Amino acid sequence: MNGKYFIVGTFFGIQLRIHYSWLIIFALIAWTIITSYIPSFKHGLSPLVLTSAGLLVTFIFFASVIAHEYAHSIVANRRGMRIKRITLFVFGGASELQHEPDSAKTELLMTVAGPLTSFIISGVFAGLWLLAMHWHITAIEVICQPVAVLNFIVGLFNLLPAFPLDGGRILRSVVWLIRKDFASATRIATNAGVALSYLMIGVGVLSMFAGDLVGGLWFAIIGFFLLQSARISYSQTVAQSILTGVKVSDVYNDSFVTVPLGISINEFLSGYVLRYKHYDFLAADQSGKPIGIIEMSQVTSDPHRHYENSIDKYIQPLTKSLALKPSDPAIKAQQVMQSHNLDILPVMSGKELIGVVMRRYLEDYVAVHRLRR
């Protein structure tokens, strides 16, 4: 998973990580700005100046998106949320919440900070743009006007009341404040998001029939994207609320097999994967001490694998941060799996391996309790 990101650095105690897909969007936006937006200003500026201005606008715009995300995270951390990382990918960014905000007020403040930052940046650049117009400095105009407009659009788009967009989160926190019920607030904000998504898809399809093919398609795509993310974040929220208060000792499995070191891929596949009907195992040394994690996906994704070779090179070493204690919260297991992209974790009592938690166990626990609700 880490291979798909590059780490820019750590600012305000929060790591900034960028998904490679972001570069594609960067190139697309730069291209759009350079080829169609800035030329509309052409006041006798040379192509070199226009291209540099376009790149600069794109840079400032992306920096603004990062500032928007940092605003969320910094306010959240001030309110005790412990956000350690921001990840940017195709459709904007995400501050990685270790847990949902614990009060409506925290959610409201941290959410409002994002669009507010976009509007402030937009306002500053709009001011510079007016000054540049006044003094006829075209090169500055060409940069400030698009930055002001783009940030305004980002602020506005994020305020759409579609959970998990900022507007949806604001709606949720307000309902939460009024009703004092997190679950029903999430449900209401999600339903608003779903309704808005269908509306956007509908409007998009209609405008495609009315002749605006590209504009309509974009509308429909964004609507579809919003619909997906509303559903995903709703089920994540439900899962989190079900797992709250649950311990690792409630979800782990104490009957498990470990894979010995040095066996071949063939032996691993037939003697473990096929025999025990799952894909992920712990590898242990002769004394039974867990050494690492071996996942079938690691083996199958290696194009240079030889079935006679040892599986040892696919074993991911077990660091301290991966080991769970029975008294740990089940949500911790979920977070560790997510952040390390693993499907299995060891449960240790002191130095002794007493069981495993698999991603599936958590999913089953949530599914069963969801039925009972």
| β pairing state of 258-260 and 280-284 | parallel
Name the DSSP class of 240. Answer: H
Rg, Å, the chain Cα set? 25
Residues that bind Zn ion (CB under 5 A): 114, 158, 166
Question: Which CB atom, from 107 or from 166, has the smaller least distance to Zn ion?
Answer: 166
What's the min distance (Å) between Cβ of 46 and Zn ion?
37
What's the min distance (Å) between Cβ of 154 and Zn ion?
8
Give the DSSP per-residue string, 57-89: HHHHHHHHHHHHHHHHHHHHHHTT----EEEEE
Outline where DSSP puts E strands in 163-279: 258-260
Q: Which residue has the tokens 């899962």?
A: 239
Question: Which CB atom, from 166 or from 280, has the smaller least distance to Zn ion?
Answer: 166
Question: Which CB atom, from 92 or from 215, has the smaller least distance to Zn ion?
Answer: 92
Q: Is the CB of residue 72 less than 8 Å from the CB of residue 111?
A: yes
Question: Which CB atom, from 146 or from 168, has the smaller least distance to Zn ion?
Answer: 168
Question: Which CB atom, from 12 or from 276, has the smaller least distance to Zn ion?
Answer: 12
Using N-to-C axis directions, what is the helix angle for 359-372 and 330-340, rounded to 10°? 130
Question: Which CB atom, from 106 or from 158, has the smaller least distance to Zn ion?
Answer: 158
What's the min distance (Å) between Cβ of 236 and Zn ion?
17
Structure tokens of 248?
A: 């690792």
Question: Which CB atom, from 64 or from 158, has the smaller least distance to Zn ion?
Answer: 158
What's the min distance (Å) between Cβ of 150 and Zn ion?
15
* Burial environment of residue 286 by CB neighbours within 10 A (0 to 12, 13 to 18, 19 or more): exposed
Cβ neighbours for 229, distance < 8 A, ≥ 6 positions apart: 164
Nearest 5 degrees, angle CA 216-CA 65-CA 18? 100
What's the min distance (Å) between Cβ of 80 and Zn ion?
19
Phi-psi region of 259 (alpha: psi -120 to 50; beta: other; left: phi over 0): beta
| CB closest to Zn ion, residue no | 114
Question: Which CB atom, from 63 or from 368, has the smaller least distance to Zn ion?
Answer: 63
Question: Which CB atom, from 112 or from 333, has the smaller least distance to Zn ion?
Answer: 112
What's the min distance (Å) between Cβ of 68 and Zn ion?
5
How far apart, in Å, are the Cα atoms of 314 and each of 52, 173, 323? 46, 45, 19
Write phi, then psi, for 95 (nearest 5 degrees): -85, 130
What's the min distance (Å) between Cβ of 114 and Zn ion?
3
What whole-number distance in Å separates Cα of residue 221 and Cα of residue 215?
10
What's the min distance (Å) between Cβ of 167 and Zn ion?
9
Q: Which residue has the tokens 């930055």?
A: 147
Q: Which residue has the tokens 């926190």?
A: 173
What's the min distance (Å) between Cβ of 158 and Zn ion?
5
What whole-number distance in Å separates Cα of residue 140 and Cα of residue 47?
15
